[in-house]
Structures are given as structure tokens and as C-alpha cells.
Structure 1
């Protein structure tokens, strides 16, 4: 079994756990603070990870270059915006469905991978995109309720709803960030896979921490105080988040983004369990059908990529 497969599955589990913990922060702080917790409290551990690899395991530090700095900065900002939108989406939908909206990311990452890195998409990938978007539409229709809106008109309304738009944009930004992080890691010519991934993670979280601190200091000091008051649960979010990110970055250094993010859809299984058993939320049949269609699209995408 290729190493990137178990690494990706582990990263998906940790991402689901981080999202659940992040959602609980919404009671203590706003969307900006919950988004910051992932990066700001994870950054020190990302730096420790780099130093551990360098000094404990004698891995050489690669030298950052202009391509690396551009790609990691662009990816870092895109990930901030994507995370903000995903946390904001939780205010409108339940945990399962809110996360499922962002699951169009692998389809969109395949496109961005082609445009940015020249990683070709097989014809079946187009089918995967269509199936995934259809699944998002079903979820949106189910959430809007009402029998009058069922059928093709309801599906069309769902695809252009506010929730669908936020989720699709979040997925697009996550796709861009993932491709940029792979680009950054691959641009480091020297160093092993673990060190290149760790360097990318440390620089990305550092840029994200500075950007969000500056924003809150200038525009939302009350939120900065709320983060400081809730530092204990926020610290847990940061630790779990950086561990999951280390897995994603390593897997995406080893393999194409489209493959990694497609396999990462196993997170939906973890999300479903969290939604039902942790948050005690009810998932309708149509919402479940939409999620299954998204998973089906992922399977097709994975088949097209192998």
C-alpha cells in the first residue's frame, strides 16, 4: 500500500475532529476567532515539528526560494478564507451538511491542479464534477424544505442558494490552497519529503497567524480578547489542526492533490458519525442521498486519476 494512503486517512480523521472542536468554539468567539484558532495556536507546534525533524532526526533544512514563498503565501491566504467560509456556513446548516458542501474541493482541486501544475485530468473527472455538483444540489434542496420546491426547479434553486454558493466557494479556495501547498513543497528541490512538507506547513501557518493577528488587531479587537479568554480549547484545536495539516502536506508532497483530496473524502464517514452521535443532529434521506452522490463523484474521480 502506498504510504500516502494511510497518511491521508489519518489526516482526514484529524480534520474532522478539528472541525468538531472548532465548531464548539463558536459559542465562545465569532467566526474570525474560531478560524484563527486553527492557525495561531497551531503555528508553534508546526515550528517545533520542523526543529524535531532537523535536530532529532538529522534532516537537512531546505532553502526557501521565490516560488516557494509565493505559493505558500497564496495558499495560506486562500486557506484562511476557505476556513472562514466553512465555519460561517455552520451558522446556517448542520455539521454534516455544512461540511459536505465543501466536499466539492477535490473536483475543483483537479481543475486547479491542471491549471497551476499541469497535472492532467482524465475525461472521467468531468463526470465526477457533475455528480458532485448534483449531490450538493440535493443537499441544498433538502435543507430548504418545502415540497413545492422539490423536483428540477428545487434543484436549480438549491444550486444557486446562498448556502450552496458559500460551500462551493469554500471548496474552491480549499482546492486552490491545496494545489499551492503542493507547488510550494515541490519547489523545494532539496530535503526529504517529511522536511519539505514540514517547512511548507510552518511557513503557511506563520503567514496565516500574522495575517489574522493583524486583521483582528486593526478591525476586531474584541474578538482577539475572546480568543485570549478561550485559549485552552483553542489550543486543542491548534494541536489537532496542525497534526492533521502535517498529514495533508506530507501526502500532497508524495502524490497529486486530486488523488489525496479524493481519498480524503473518507472524512464524510467520520463527519456523519460526529453529526449523529456527537451533535445529535438528524440527517434527512435527501441529505444523505446528496452526500452519497458526492462520495460517488469522488470514487469516479479517483478511478479517473489512477
Structure 2
């Protein structure tokens, strides 16, 4: 049941990463905030990989066309997903943006079953369904009319992108044919490194001012990267061990941490509807853990 512990670690770290990115989005454009997630995370991923091989030697993976496509696809679509998340933060408040993006759990379930050979139990589907209701309540705090069609579509695009990234990350990990946790460590390092290279080159050629703005706020950028690395370490490890829909449904406990951050750090209010959603998320978490 190690995947449960990894998922809780990922959810806790991701809630802080989202909070840091929300703050950064007030001062830096979308591409800069997205790069902040990766720019200092890749050296940590490399350090983790080297340390892992030092204490637990394993073969070097054989890179195939299949694994390359999965890694490249995951790196690109996760950049898109993160950028869409930042745009959501700019349209609505922090908690609603995170709530809309968390619908990736049911999306990953449907995509996984249709295209990736994922198999879910009846109890597992129940957990995914209950989690989806919770996300709906979080996304419609003031009623469904409180969310515009453009915001709803943006949230769906964001969650779909995150879901695809997660599914491709799992496929990349399985395609390396290495023991756990080495396969997860390699995918983590490769994906984050590619993302850093692509975004840094883009900004160096097209928007050097954003790079200067980022280095002018080193503390917030470093905290974003650190929280992102810990979160990615948890997600990549959990998804190497368990099906993505289960991991992402349990990962909705992130909403609990998000609300605590929203109340005590970002000074936002929590309503009765949010408490109801939390109860449903707890039920969903129990169902996927016991499936």
C-alpha cells in the first residue's frame, strides 16, 4: 500500500505548489510561473536518481521509441496543463481554480479505460464517481451560474491535460522495465529536465524580461520548485505502483490542504458547501483505498 503514502505526500506538496504559483501569477506571466515549477526541480530529481543508484544499484534503462514518445508527450502536455492552471488562477480565486483542475480523476478514469487498458473495480468506480461530485461542489461554490462557460471549458481542458500527463507518465514508467523505484526516478528526471530545457529556451529567445522577473523573486521561485519536486516525486512513484484513476481520486485529499492554505495563508473563506465536498472526498478516498 505504499502508493497511498506517496499520494498523500504528493497531495500535500502540490497544495503548497499551487499556492506558491498562485502568488507568483500576480507578478509573473503564465510561462514564467510554469517554468518556476521545474527550474530548480530537475537538479533535485538528478540528485535523487544518483543517490538511489548509489544505495540500490540497478540496470540503466534501455530507451525505446515507445518510452521516448511517452516521456516527451508527458513533458509537453504537463506544461500545457500547468499553464492552463495558472490561467484559471487569474480568472477565479485560488480554491476554485484548484477545484476545477481536480476533475482530472474522473477524466483519467474514462481515458484510462478507453485508451490505456485500465481496469477499475465496481468499488473503484464508486470512489471516482463520489470524488467527481465533490469536485463539482467545489467548482460551483455559488451555484453553477457562478462559473462561466469559458471557465468551465478551461477547467475541463486543464483537467484533461493533467489526466493525459499522468497516464503517459505511468506508461513511460512501465515501458522502462526497471524495478521500483528506479523506473519512477528515471521518468521523473527525464520529464522535468525536458520541461526545464524547453521553457528556458523559449523564454531566452522570446521573453528575457520574464527570466529577470523570476530571478528577482528567488525565494518564491525556489519554494515553488521544491514543492513541485516533492509533489512530482510522490505522484510519479504512486502512479508507477497503482492505476492513475485510483491515485488521482485519493489525491483529491489535496483539496483539504488547499482549503487550509486558502483560509490561513490566502485569507479566503470556506463555506458549508466546501465542508460537504470534503466529506465526499473522504468517502471517495476510503473507497479507492479499499477497492
TM-score by length of 1: 0.85
Question: Is 2:288 aligned against 1:302?
Answer: yes
Taking the TM superposition and a 5 Å limit, the aligned residue runs for 1:94-109 are 94-109=93-108
Cα distance, 1:93 vs structure 2:
1.7
- Runs of 4+ with >3 A deviation: 121-143, 155-160, 284-289, 291-294, 296-301
Q: Which moved more, 1:115-124 or 1:180-189?
A: 115-124
* Number of residues of Structure 1 aligned to a counterpart in Structure 2: 291
Note the aligned Cα RMSD (angstroms).
2.5
CA contact (8 A) 1:105 1:171 kept: yes
CA contact (8 A) 2:17 2:227 kept: yes
CA contact (8 A) 2:124 2:246 kept: no
Aligned to 1:270: 257
Cα distance, 1:142 vs structure 2:
3.7
Could you tell me which of 148, 153, 167 is aligned with 1:179? 167
* CA 1:236–1:130: 2 relative to 1, 3 Å: closer
Could you tell me which of 154, 161, 168 is aligned with 1:166? 154
In 1, the alpha carbon distance for the partners of 2:266 and 2:148 equals 28
Could you tell me which of 165, 173, 195 is aligned with 2:182? 195
Cα distance, 1:138 vs structure 2:
4.6
Deviations 1:196-226 (A, max 9, x none): 0010011101111122123223332221221
Aligned to 1:57: 56
TM-score by length of 2: 0.89
Cα distance, 1:260 vs structure 2:
0.9
Cα distance, 1:71 vs structure 2:
0.4
Structure 1 segments unaligned to the other structure (5+ residues): 144-154
In 1, the alpha carbon distance for the partners of 2:134 and 2:56 equals 45
Aligned to 1:257: 244
* CA 1:252–1:172: 2 relative to 1, 3 Å: same
Aligned to 1:47: 46
* CA 1:55–1:36: 2 relative to 1, 3 Å: same
Cα distance, 1:159 vs structure 2:
6.8
Deviations 1:145-181 (A, max 9, x none): xxxxxxxxxx665676222221121111110000000
In 2, the alpha carbon distance for the partners of 1:32 and 1:174 equals 17
CA contact (8 A) 1:262 1:301 kept: no
* CA 1:142–1:235: 2 relative to 1, 3 Å: closer
In 2, the alpha carbon distance for the partners of 1:67 and 1:199 equals 15
Taking the TM superposition and a 5 Å limit, the aligned residue runs for 1:1-306 are 2-122=1-121, 138-143=137-142, 157=145, 161-189=149-177, 191-286=178-273, 289=276, 291-292=277-278, 295=281, 298-299=284-285, 302=288, 306=291
